[in-house]
Structure formats: C-alpha cells, structure tokens
Amino acid sequence: MAIERTLSIIKPDGVEKGVIGQIITRFESNGMKPVAIRMQQLSRADAEGFYAVHKERGFFKALCDFMVSGPVVIMVLEGENAVLKNRDLMGATDPTKAAKGTIRADFAKSIDANTVHGSDSVENAKVEVAYFFRTTEQCAYEWKR
C-alpha cells in the first residue's frame, strides 16, 4: 500500500467542543502521522477559495458562514492509504448516516457542523494540502516497516 498525504480540518464545532486531542488521537492510533498542523481563523476568502468546487451548491453560503464562525485546526496526515483511511474514520458527511464509532457519528450534530473535513481523493488531497501548506511547512516522517 502506498504512503499518502491527505488534508484534514477540525471544523469550528470540533474546536468549540474541545475534542481536538481526541480526534488527533484517532488518527494517530490508526497509523496516520500529522506532518503539518496549524490552528487558524479562516477568512471568508480562505473558506470560499477552499470550497470553490461547491460554489454553485445551495449550501455554499451556510458552509462558508460556518467555517469562518471560529478557529479550525488544519492538518496534513501521512500514512498508508491515508486518504481512504481518513474518510473511514470520519464517517459519512451527514452525521445521521455516519457509521457507529466514526468521528462524525460521535461528535457531529448536523451536515454543516460535521466536525471534520477530509480530502476525497489522492488528486484532491494534493490540491487541498497545497492550498494551506507550503512544502517547507510539511515535515518528513521516516516510516519504519
């Protein structure tokens, strides 16, 4: 399996709830290493740019309003099959449909306030990581097999 990088965001509801540590623990205990982490208050331009792919969708304004409502934690996670693994750990976008034991099932309260974002493909992960982190801000991790 390939070592991949994926972008993860702990959204304002996760930060507000005080579950940053619990969420990062789930990543670490499932074989993913954070190689970049930053806490940030997104500007509206940051949020609209990041979610530009959704700009024609009816939920775009509510999504951006929510993403600027408080600080977020933005991370690059590295590990085997990281993109898919992160999505499995997050659970379905709509927390009412998320499998038991997933981050969204355990912490999220609505499809907007759904606690975490994760890249949906290796290709998009590259774009999303580059949106928030310069190469020099990402650390190298030496995997011991």
Pairing outcome for strands 72-80 and 3-10: antiparallel
Check 74, 108, 117, 128 and give the catalytic one: 117
Which residue in 85, 81, 74 sits closest to 116, CA to CA? 74
Considering beta carbons, is residue 38 or 57 the nearer one to ligand CMP? Answer: 57
- Give the interface with ligand CMP as residue ranges (CB under 6 A): 54, 59, 63, 93, 111-112, 114, 117
- Among left, alpha and beta (phi > 0; psi -120 to 50; other), residue 129 is alpha
Considering beta carbons, is residue 79 or 95 the nearer one to ligand CMP? Answer: 95
Q: Is 117 a catalytic residue?
A: yes
Measured from the CB of residue 97, what is the shortest distance to ligand CMP in angstroms? 11
Pairing outcome for strands 72-80 and 33-40: antiparallel
Measured from the CB of residue 117, what is the shortest distance to ligand CMP in angstroms? 3
Beta bridge partners of 34: 77
Measured from the CB of residue 144, what is the shortest distance to ligand CMP in angstroms? 32
